[in-house]
Structure 1
Amino acid sequence: MDCRRSRTTDPEKWIATCPEGSKAVCEELRELIFRWEPDLKESINSNMLCYSLKKRVCGISGFKDHAQLTFYRGSDLPDPMRLFNHGLENASIHSIDLPHGLEGLNQRALRKLLHAAVLLDAEPSQRKPPAPPREEWPMPEVLAARLKKNKAAAAFYDQLKPTYQREYKVWVGTAKQPETIAKRLDETLRALAAGKKWAQRKEAC
């Protein structure tokens, strides 16, 4: 999420001034949201194009090399197609990074996700049904290989509770680009060897 001061309060100007690497995708996302959920109100907040009813439902961010669609109550939404690929360690906000635009994105699943978010916002007092047990996040092979070579990091990782282990697995496992994977692995091993949980990892750098 882009937390810089908004460059404009006008959605049209916001789209017009998006970085070239994400402008077209932001325009497409905006059109889909208007088509699928026309009652949502559009505004600018924290340099994001936001859509609200009672509260903010979702928001679009435009970065230099990709667009991002954020759901403010993402952790409460069903996501059987696993569209969420960013911020999964967060307690509430989850996002969909779109480095390749909408190519390959299951738009039918996205529409269902957006509709579920709108229903959740419309009925905030509705009791949430008991969540099914969260599926265990698979151990990334690259992380497992590095842990075998670093006894201090592996020892601390093994003593972490599953919740804290998951944070590291998600963070490494959701990286796509080789340079991002390498960077997160290095940071992970330094943090674990220093006895730091994921939220404290910056302290070890």
Structure 2
Amino acid sequence: MAKSALQSSKSPSQLIDARIEELGDWRGQMLARLRSLIKQAEPNIIEEWKWRGVPVWYHEGMICTGETYKNAVKMTFAKGASLPDPAQLFNASLDGNTRRAIDFHEGEKINEKALKALIRDAVALNKSKAKT
């Protein structure tokens, strides 16, 4: 069976699980940890698999993506420029008018409390936009 046919028979959550396992290094561990924190912050989050292999989390609109690169795991917030960031988590894609990202590197600690607050704020922003 072709890879694309195999992928289409799996749920987005199963594809994300497979991606984490496939990475098999610190990036997989980081992606798994970020995914766990997303789910803790918003238990009703919906997982999707987009753009040929990028985990994407939704709640009344896109919240963020979880891209993996050689030297970083990038968490891009779709409406990051509109979110408060008192802990200054955003450290990438700072020039745009809409998105903001956080690059996580090997061995870096995650400010879990601040990240969960950022996720909750992103969900609240989507909910407020959905009502208007």
TM-score w.r.t. the length of structure 2 is 0.80
Matching residue of 1:36: 41
Contact 1:20–1:64 at 8 Å: present in 2 too?
no
User: In 2 relative to 1, CA 21–66 (structure 1 residues): closer, same or farther, beyond 3 Å?
Assistant: farther
1:96 is displaced (CA, Å) by: 0.2
Decide whether the 8 Å contact of 2:80 with 2:100 is kept in 1: yes
Give CA-to-partner distance per residue, 1:83-109, whole Å, 9 cap, x none: 100000011111000113551x32211
2:18 to 13, 18, 21: 13
User: What is the match of residue 55 of structure 1?
Assistant: 61
Residue of structure 2 equivalent to 1:100: 106
- Aligned pairs for 1:47-196 (under 5 A) are 47-103=53-109, 105-124=110-129
Percent identity reads: 26
| Alpha-carbon separation, structure 1, partners of 2:107 and 2:76 | 15
Give the C-alpha shift of residue 11 in structure 1. Answer: 2.0
- Structure 1: tracts of 5 or more residues without a match: 1-7, 128-205
Q: Residue type matched to 2:128 in 1?
A: E
Distance 2:107 2:112 in 1: 12
More relative contact order, 1 or 2 (CA 8 Å, 6+ apart): 2
Query: What's the secondary structure of 2:64's corresponding residue?
Result: strand
Structure 1 residue ranges, 4+ long, deviating more than 4 angstroms after superposition = none
SS in 1 for 2:65: strand
The alignment of Structure 1 onto Structure 2 pairs a total of residues equal to: 120
RMSD: 2.1
* 1:28-55 CA distance string (max 9 Å, x none): 1111111221101001112221110221
Q: Could you report, residue by residue, the CA deviation over 1:120-164 in whole angstroms, capped at 9, with x for unpaired residues?
A: 11121568xxxxxxxxxxxxxxxxxxxxxxxxxxxxxxxxxxxxx
Q: For residue 69 of structure 1, report the CA deviation from its aligned partner.
A: 0.9
- 2 CA distance for matches of 1:63 and 1:96? 13
Classify 1:101/1:35 alpha carbon distance in 2 versus 1 (closer, same or farther; 3 Å): farther
> Whose strand proportion is higher, 1 or 2?
2
Shift of 1:19: 6.1
Distance in 2 (CA, whole Å) between partners of 1:19 and 1:120 is 34
Which residue identity is paired with 1:27? A
| Larger Rg belongs to | 1
TM-score by length of 1: 0.53
